[in-house]
Homo-oligomer: A and B are copies of this chain.
């Protein structure tokens, strides 16, 4: 697996449910995956925040993981989020994902209790020791309640062999600067904060982890291409064009807004699971207007 080069636009999938949030709609998931790959995204990431991974039963989680990997079928790399509250369950998921062909697993140190640095390191080590594929460490204090300092992140990267990538979602660009300087440019980092897309690429991010390509993949891809080409003026123009939509999907909650957007663009993927509401009528009107501007 050491050859996997993760870069560019990493598209996050939703998890389509049936009526009343019951059951899985795997065919719809397949369609959303195809749409993103056909648009040109560089990797597919199921079961992340957007995929409502935390709201699935264990059986559902397994089904979605297995189906997604099989459906992507190595057209691009698949990055499976395997976060769980206990180390034992996260290990089980990581092994399951690897056994079914995941190229990379992503690990957020989800927790109910505040974890010490030693506990976080041991959590990553236990998962790392149980699989052979690379791990993308994921820092997102807003959802996990745990903010890993850059120093801790580098300690984990240096201490656990297959933790080789970092996804940073604090939205604080200084974290990326510090990763770059303290990591001496050798730790590839990825941006997980949509409204930071332009600046993260400016600062050297290898990729952008985002659910936006479900709706506006060409704009996301063009922004990446412009920064790769070093065309700052074009990148800035592309960024400000898509920013209102990026802000909208972030503030409205990714599962609700992306599912509403998919419906709007002809791909029925159901509603989020309660307590999360589907997008309101007013929200749908606003989303429609934003999408229309970008077509």
Which residues on A are within 8 Å of B, measured CB to CB?
21, 49, 52, 54-55, 85-88, 109, 111-116, 118-120, 122-123, 126, 142-143, 145, 171, 173-174, 177, 180-181, 195-196, 198-199, 202-204, 227, 230-233, 235-236, 240, 243-244, 253-255, 273-277
Contacts and interface: CB of A to CB of B under 8 A. Distances in A.
B177 A85 contact: no
A240 B275 contact: no
B274 A87 contact: yes
A275 B203 contact: no
Contact of A173 (B199, B244, B253, B277): B199
Nearest to A276: B113
A276 to B, nearest CB: 5
A120 B275 contact: yes
Contact of A275 (B52, B115, B171, B173): B115
Given A253-B113, A275-B86, A244 B203 contact: no
24 contacts: A21-B88, A55-B86, A88-B274, A112-B143, A113-B253, A113-B276, A114-B142, A114-B253, A116-B277, A119-B274, A119-B275, A119-B276, A122-B274, A122-B277, A126-B274, A142-B145, A181-B240, A198-B199, A199-B203, A202-B202, A203-B236, A230-B230, A230-B231, A231-B232
A194 to B, nearest CB: 11
A171 B145 CA distance: 18
B274 A86 contact: yes
Q: How many protomers of this protein does the assembly include?
A: 4
A111 B233 CA distance: 39
Contacts of A113: 49, 143, 253-255, 276
A88 B199 CA distance: 40
A103 to B, nearest CB: 25
A243 B143 CA distance: 30
Contacts of A88: 21, 273-274
A88 B114 CA distance: 26
Given A122-B275, A181-B240, 10 more contacts: A21-B86, A49-B113, A54-B112, A113-B276, A115-B275, A116-B277, A119-B275, A142-B145, A181-B243, A230-B231
Nearest to A228: B232
